[in-house]
Amino acid sequence: MKNIDSIGHVRGESIYLDDIPVRTGTLYALVYDAPCAHARIKNVDYSKAEALPGLVRILTHRDIVGENEIGNIFQDEPLLAEDEIHFWGMPIALIIAESEYIARQAKKLISIELEELPVITDPREARAKNKLIAPPRTFKMGDTNSAWAACEYIFEGTTETNGQEHLYIETQGAYAYPTEHGSIRISSSTQGPTQVQKAIAKVLGIPMHKVEVDVTRLGGGFGGKEDQATAWGVLVALAAQILKKPIKYSLHRMDDMRMTGKRHPYSSDYKIGLSKDLKILAYEATFHQNAGASADLSPAVLERTLFHATNMYSVPNVEVTAYSCRTHLPPNTAFRGFGGPQGMFVMEAAISRAANELGIAARDIQARNILQEGDEFPYGQKAEKCHAQKVWNTTLKHYNIEEIEQEIATFNSENKYYKKGMAIMPVCFGISFTNTPMNHARALVHIYQDGSVGISTGGVEMGQGLNTKMVQVAMAELSLSAQRIKIETTNTTRVANTSPSAASATADLNGKALEQACKELKKRLIETAAKHLKSDNSNITIENEFVFNNNKKTDIDWEKLVQLAFLDRVCLTENGHYATPVIYFDKAKEKGHPFAYHVYGNSITVVTVDCLRGRYEIDAVKLVHDFGKKMNTPIDDGQIEGGVVQGIGWMTMEEILYNDKGKLLSNALSTYKIPDIYSVPKELIIKNLETEGHPLAIRKSKAVGEPPLMYGIGAYFAIQNAVKAFNPNYTLKYDAPFTPEKVLMGLYEKVEKEAPVGAEILN
Ligand code: MTE
Ligand code: LUZ
Ligand code: MOS
């Protein structure tokens, strides 16, 4: 089935926040944000700005009736700065004007007096100064201390992974207007409507039932709107409450890049020990997460790093510790993979390092340590329905790894200034919010008198194809055609207390709730049919919009059936509720069964490095992915393609830079390079691993949103191998992204100066 949004998107008819027609009298908001990263505010002078014609009001923390607090996991994040600034871009005041242009003019007229304070941007420095968001966490299995003695080889090192800007096409934004009885209605570009509702209620000092949050769809979220859409929603709601006017705020791209958090940079240490026959006997790692100025989702991200520290390998002795370090950067947040990629990079770096030292291929170590059915993860869950070995073998066989390696060797021996490199990147990703209480959802289904169906769920469409999958679920459960089904906006008054659309679990959780609701409605309709046909419920089926009695088609079609039920006063509305069974986690022991299931995959990445320029191309990413019983090929393959390219961007070109004063230097698309059409692998082949699918996945079709991003990690190691092929003196470094500048430096690191490189070409 095609994505139900395709035609609307192509015609420009799909509605995003900025497409909502504005009401008469709408005013425009703009944040006045901190011009430094850490300081005490001595005085802010708004008087010149306030005198500007068309300026309506400037709001500060003093205007807040409720609490000046939007922190979610921890209450450590003021909406508007009070006495102290914690990061460059921290909101200080909200300018409200008759137009965005006037608001921008007014912003220039505000002046501030500050007493600057020391700035920390480095997580290791924060740890040394004991600036932690929360106490560190350790996952432990076996006993690494005694295992080292049994190891033939031990290697230690450090790694760095940088942040990543979400660059959703639609920037953050919200539009609020007051309704009656002191209530407020907000359209928000958020992955978490309930989170926005809750924070508004708290800041405005009103109950949640007075706040209605509505979301049609997002122009991308990628985790950046899981928690960080909240501030903008609260700000416009606050202004609407005070001014009793509709207030709109849609962020300028550069404001969004400056003020919002990104993927967490990590600085990590590893120690890996292997037996003579390359079995990984012990693995230790210490992760320093750069959380930024407040907690946001950092503790949850940190935990997912620990959960994925050993990726798709079985290691008997593991001890991994993670520190969430408070710095003066914008609070970092969820980003596709949610700490998982950061953890897996360190493991792959350790393997790469060991392989290089031993003069073997990384895949010799990888192959020897693949997770097996029944193996225990360091967090206590056992690998069940484990496809790790199958996905590994299928990849190597299907794509003929020996042939790929031979081709690369031949190419490299025949070419002096172009070198190819290859890497294998397996992925094992756990599906469920690691915080067990978040794994639930609801769906509200109305069957209208004419037989058409309206569905509301708690899930947010952000380009991942959720709504199409929800249509497919209802079609299957009610035996209906797609045209009869409409997916409504996501609205807190129709579906309440939702978890954000995240953790790749949205289709599973909301789809299962929807299945539940449809099953109940179908039961009622079958009872109606049985009554009218004077038959037994068990004899009735509904197929292709017709009632069958004892497998014989009757003259009752769907519309007639709904009419009969309506006249019989049968309830044609149902609310389904689903909570993932089986899962639990004991944080005191750091053991449990946190995931409904795991997604497995494996990929081969081949690159060509231009050894004169340091540029590279991704020749191919060939992968085998465990989709389960795939319910929508175009959508799921699209998720893989997008995830792979986003992962390659993180690993190779997207370089977030702050100066030591905490100012974002990569603050625009001219200074922050994201993948374009030329960055896409020349060949991207997706093979479906044939399996049964998983009963806890929606229609046995496994979650696919985040896992593919981690295939992109292969690009780092493939480029590294190509650099090594050109320059044997190059010392392996694990400092992502591997930008063309770093590649060039690596190519000529410690190279003897005989003739200028490329001289013979010039001659
Ligand atoms: N795909 C598109 N097109 N846009 C997005 O914003 N977000 C990703 C992934 N794929 C995203 C996307 C992230 S971070 C997650 S968690 C999942 O989609 C969320 O959707 P799901 O739970 O339905 O997979
Ligand atoms: N969000 C969250 C997530 O709150 N918990 C999670 O485990 C998670 N995992 C991935 C992405 N977002
Ligand atoms: Mo995705 S990082 O769970 O929004």
Residues 563-574 have pLDDT tens digits of 999 999 999 999
Instruction: Return the ligand number nearest the Cα of 462.
Output: 1
- Which ligand 2 atom minimizes the distance to the CA of 499? 4
Q: Per the structure block, which two tokens stand in for 313?
A: 């390998």
Separation CA 441–CA 462 (nearest Å): 17
pLDDT at 191 over 80: yes
Q: Between 652 and 751, whose confidence is greater?
A: 652
For residue 18, being part of any structural domain is answered with: yes
Instruction: Return the ligand number nearest the Cα of 304.
Output: 2
Instruction: Specify whether 417 is located in the same domain as 453.
Output: no
Mean pLDDT of the region 446-460:
98
pLDDT at 400 over 50: yes
Domain boundary among 579, 601, 624: 579
Instruction: Specify whether 217 is located in the same domain as 285.
Output: no
pLDDT at 426 over 80: yes
**What is the CA(275)–ligand 1 centre distance, in A?**
40
- Which ligand 3 atom minimizes the distance to the CA of 222? 4
**What is the CA(465)–ligand 1 centre distance, in A?**
9
Instruction: Specify whether 447 is located in the same domain as 552.
Output: yes
For residue 757, being part of any structural domain is answered with: no
Instruction: Specify whether 498 is located in the same domain as 520.
Output: yes
Structure confidence at residue 108 (pLDDT): 98
Mean pLDDT of the region 605-616:
97
CB within 8 Å of 264: residues ≥ 6 apart: 163, 289, 290, 291, 298, 301, 332, 333, 335, 339, 342
Task: Supply the residue whose CA is at minimum distance from atom 11 of ligand 2.
Answer: 503
**Sign, CA torsion 392/394/399/404:** positive
Mean pLDDT of the region 322-331:
98
Separation CA 86–CA 529 (nearest Å): 65
Is 501 touching ligand 1 by the criterion CB < 6 Å?
Answer: yes
Mean pLDDT of the region 156-170:
98
Instruction: Specify whether 646 is located in the same domain as 570.
Output: no
Give percent of the chain above pLDDT 90. 98
| Prediction pTM value | 0.97
Task: Supply the residue whose CA is at minimum distance from atom 16 of ligand 1.
Answer: 502
- Which ligand 2 atom minimizes the distance to the CA of 304? 7
Task: Supply the residue whose CA is at minimum distance from atom 8 of ligand 1.
Answer: 222
Separation CA 443–CA 516 (nearest Å): 8
Instruction: Specify whether 98 is located in the same domain as 220.
Output: yes
Instruction: Return the ligand number nearest the Cα of 703.
Output: 1
**What is the CA(221)–ligand 3 centre distance, in A?**
8
For residue 72, being part of any structural domain is answered with: yes
Is 706 touching ligand 1 by the criterion CB < 6 Å?
Answer: yes
Mean pLDDT of the region 516-540:
98
Instruction: Specify whether 493 is located in the same domain as 553.
Output: yes
pLDDT at 20 over 70: yes
Domain count, the chain: 3
pLDDT at 762 over 60: no
Q: How confident is the model at residue 751 (pLDDT cuts 50, 70, 90)?
A: confident
Q: Of 125, 152, 706, 749, which residue is the catalytic one? A: 706
Instruction: Specify whether 623 is located in the same domain as 700.
Output: yes
Task: Supply the residue whose CA is at minimum distance from atom 3 of ligand 2.
Answer: 503
Task: Supply the residue whose CA is at minimum distance from atom 21 of ligand 1.
Answer: 504
- Which ligand 1 atom minimizes the distance to the CA of 469? 23
DSSP per residue, 335-347 = -TTTTHHHHHHHH
Nearest residue to 262 (alpha-carbon basis) of 166, 121, 339, 172: 166
Instruction: Specify whether 304 is located in the same domain as 238.
Output: no
Q: What are phi and psi of 752, to 5 degrees?
A: -65, 140
Domain boundary among 229, 259, 289: 259
**Residue 71: in which H helix or E strand, if any?**
none
| Residue range 350-369, pLDDT digits in tens | 999 999 999 999 999 999 99
Mutate to test the pocket of ligand 1, among 262, 432, 462 (most ligand atoms within 8 A of CB): 462
- 3-state SS class at 272: strand
Separation CA 417–CA 437 (nearest Å): 55
Q: How confident is the model at residue 763 (pLDDT cuts 50, 70, 90)?
A: very low
- Which ligand 3 atom minimizes the distance to the CA of 191? 4
Q: How confident is the model at residue 756 (pLDDT cuts 50, 70, 90)?
A: low
Domain boundary among 579, 614, 634: 579
**What is the CA(750)–ligand 2 centre distance, in A?**
43
Nearest residue to 23 (alpha-carbon basis) of 179, 146, 241: 179
Instruction: Return the ligand number nearest the Cα of 705.
Output: 1
- Which ligand 3 atom minimizes the distance to the CA of 221? 4
Instruction: Specify whether 616 is located in the same domain as 669.
Output: yes
Q: How much is the mean pLDDT over the chain?
A: 97
pLDDT at 114 over 70: yes
Instruction: Specify whether 312 is located in the same domain as 394.
Output: yes
- Which ligand 3 atom minimizes the distance to the CA of 504? 3
**What is the CA(525)–ligand 1 centre distance, in A?**
35
Q: Decide if 170 is catalytic.
A: no
For residue 369, being part of any structural domain is answered with: yes
- Please report, for the domain that includes residue 633, its CATH number: 3.30.365.10
Mutate to test the pocket of ligand 3, among 195, 336, 460 (most ligand atoms within 8 A of CB): 336
Number of DSSP helices (H) and strands (E) in the chain, helices first: 20, 30
pLDDT at 458 over 80: yes
Mean pLDDT of the region 459-474:
98
For residue 687, being part of any structural domain is answered with: yes
For residue 756, being part of any structural domain is answered with: no
For ligand 2, residues with CB inside 6 Å are 297, 300, 304, 334, 338, 433-435, 502-503
Residue given tokens 């990147």 in the structure block: 425
Give percent of the chain above pLDDT 70. 98
pLDDT at 754 over 80: no
- In angstroms, what CA-CA distances link 388 with 139, 327, 338, 696? 22, 38, 21, 18
**Residue 677: in which H helix or E strand, if any?**
none
State which residues form the domain around 572: 440-579
**What is the CA(218)–ligand 3 centre distance, in A?**
13
Structure confidence at residue 671 (pLDDT): 97
Separation CA 484–CA 463 (nearest Å): 22
For residue 570, being part of any structural domain is answered with: yes
Find out whether 618 and 679 touch, Cβ atoms under 8 Å. Answer: yes
Q: How confident is the model at residue 750 (pLDDT cuts 50, 70, 90)?
A: confident
**What is the CA(501)–ligand 3 centre distance, in A?**
7
Nearest residue to 451 (alpha-carbon basis) of 575, 569, 561: 561
**What is the CA(221)–ligand 1 centre distance, in A?**
7
Structure confidence at residue 555 (pLDDT): 97
Instruction: Specify whether 419 is located in the same domain as 308.
Output: yes
For ligand 3, residues with CB inside 6 Å are 191, 221, 223, 226, 334-336, 338, 502-503, 706
Is 34 touching ligand 1 by the criterion CB < 6 Å?
Answer: no
For residue 97, being part of any structural domain is answered with: yes
pLDDT at 313 over 90: yes
- Please report, for the domain that includes residue 245, its CATH number: 3.90.1170.50
Mean pLDDT of the region 85-111:
98
Q: How confident is the model at residue 759 (pLDDT cuts 50, 70, 90)?
A: low
**Which range among 299-303, 517-521, 713-717, 752-756 shows the weakest confidence by mean pLDDT?**
752-756
Structure confidence at residue 552 (pLDDT): 98
